[in-house]
């Protein structure tokens, strides 16, 4: 009997995807873009406004997802929502992961591939949202000391920097090697590290696909694994050891029932 329902599922997938892409394009242009432009023109520092607008845009997106996608649940425990003034590291399994974290934190920054900063329009939004290119040099109009100074102040005011230390999406829930960039920034800013785990966003958007799969039960979750408060000034501190400690949490921490 399954073949009888396939056309219905396909039709629902198409309708829901058309709605979401309309929200991304027409909704952004009509309801959000004028506010971005106004803030850029009248505010001395539009970064906080841009971050909150990004947050609100994706918060609405996931609220609509809960309503329109049958079987989708998104579990975010309070300890995840309450994270502040931290460098957040997280596994990476889907294109959706960055926008899911943006939807959780009004004050946020993240590290983005430098090539994307050179894209017309989109790169402009990234810069004025305070996001950081993965390779900082004078050609980007930034110096690392300026990034560190600005980031330390941002974190002290309650903002979060989130980073996917694997540097790419990993299929099947496997955990790749961690780059040291996020940990180096945390050390230079003397910031705590919060370790999160995202699950099942790769079912909502399959790897390599920009199409939402909408017709099955899918419990998406963001789990809180640990908060690390390294003694960065200790003679025994090791950046390699810190990276190993953070990565080991993904294999040592058992899944809770709500994450399965």
pLDDT (tens digit per residue) in 176-201: 999 999 999 999 999 999 999 999 99
Range with the poorest average pLDDT among 64-73, 101-110, 155-164: 64-73
pLDDT at 257: 42
Of the candidates 129, 92, 126, the one whose C-alpha atom is nearest the C-alpha of residue 107 is 129
Of the candidates 89, 136, 90, 96, the one whose C-alpha atom is nearest the C-alpha of residue 112 is 136
pLDDT at 10: 82
Summarize pLDDT for 85-143 with one digit per residue, the tens: 999 999 999 999 999 999 999 999 999 888 888 888 888 999 899 998 887 654 454 55
Name the E strands within the chain: 72-75, 87-90, 108-112, 132-133, 160-163, 193-199, 218-228
Sign of CA dihedral 111, 63, 200, 191: positive
Summarize pLDDT for 22-57 with one digit per residue, the tens: 999 999 999 999 999 999 999 999 999 999 999 999
Place of tokens 């955990």: 175
- Residue 223 · residue 80 · CB < 8 Å: yes
- 7 vs 144, residue with greater confidence: 7
Of the candidates 191, 192, 21, 164, the one whose C-alpha atom is nearest the C-alpha of residue 94 is 164
How many Å apart are CA 111 and CA 205, to the nearest integer? Answer: 22
pLDDT at 117: 84
**Average of per-residue pLDDT across 157-177:** 89
What are the structural domain ranges in the chain? 2-259
Q: Is it the case that residue 207 has pLDDT exceeding 90?
A: no
Q: What percent of the chain has pLDDT over 70?
A: 91
- Residue 90 · residue 164 · CB < 8 Å: yes
């Amino acid at each position: 009997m399954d073949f009888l329902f396939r056309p219905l599922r396909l039709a629902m997938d198409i309708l829901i995807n058309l709605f979401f892409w309309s929200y991304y394009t027409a909704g952004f242009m009509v309801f959000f873009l004028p506010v971005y432009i106004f803030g850029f023109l009248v505010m001395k520092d539009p970064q906080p406004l841009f971050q909150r607008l990004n947050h609100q845009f994706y918060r609405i997106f996931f609220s609509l997802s809960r309503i329109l996608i049958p079987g989708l649940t998104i579990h975010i425990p309070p300890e995840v929502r309450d994270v502040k003034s931290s460098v957040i590291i997280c596994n990476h399994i889907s294109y959706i992961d960055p926008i899911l974290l943006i939807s959780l934190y009004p004050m946020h920054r993240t590290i983005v591939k430098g090539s994307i900063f050179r894209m017309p329009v989109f790169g402009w939004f990234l810069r004025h949202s305070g996001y950081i290119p993965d390779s900082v040099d004078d050609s980007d109009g930034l110096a690392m000391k300026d990034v560190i100074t600005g980031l330390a102040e941002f974190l002290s005011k309650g903002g979060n920097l989130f980073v996917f230390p694997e540097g790419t999406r990993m299929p099947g829930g496997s955990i790749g090697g961690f780059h040291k960039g996020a940990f180096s920034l945390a050390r230079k800013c003397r910031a705590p590290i919060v370790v999160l785990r995202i699950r099942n966003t790769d079912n909502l958007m399959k790897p390599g696909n920009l199409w939402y799969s909408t017709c099955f039960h899918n419990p998406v979750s963001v789990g809180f694994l640990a908060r690390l408060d390294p003694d960065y000034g200790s003679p025994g501190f090791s950046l390699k050891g810190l990276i190993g400690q953070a990565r080991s949490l993904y294999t040592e921490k058992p899944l809770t029932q709500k994450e399965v």
